[in-house]
Amino acid sequence: MTLLDNKQRGFTLVEIILVIVIIGILGVIAMANYIPLQESAKRATCFANQRSIEEAARIYYSRTLLETGKAVYPDAIEDLAPYMQDGVLPVCPDGFSYELLPNAGVRCTSPDHQR
Q: What is the model's pLDDT at position 2? A: 56
Q: What is the model's pLDDT at position 4? A: 57
Q: What is the model's pLDDT at position 103? A: 80
Low-confidence ranges of the chain (pLDDT < 70): 1-8
Q: What is the model's pLDDT at position 10? A: 84
Q: What is the model's pLDDT at position 50? A: 94
Q: What is the model's pLDDT at position 102? A: 83
Q: What is the model's pLDDT at position 9? A: 76
Count CB neighbours of 50 within 10 A: 20
Rounded distance between C-alpha atoms, residue 114 and residue 91, angstroms: 15
Rounded distance between C-alpha atoms, residue 50 and residue 77, angstroms: 11
Is the whole-model pTM more than 0.75?
no
Complete domains list, the chain, with CATH: 18-110 (3.30.1300)
Q: What is the model's pLDDT at position 3? A: 55
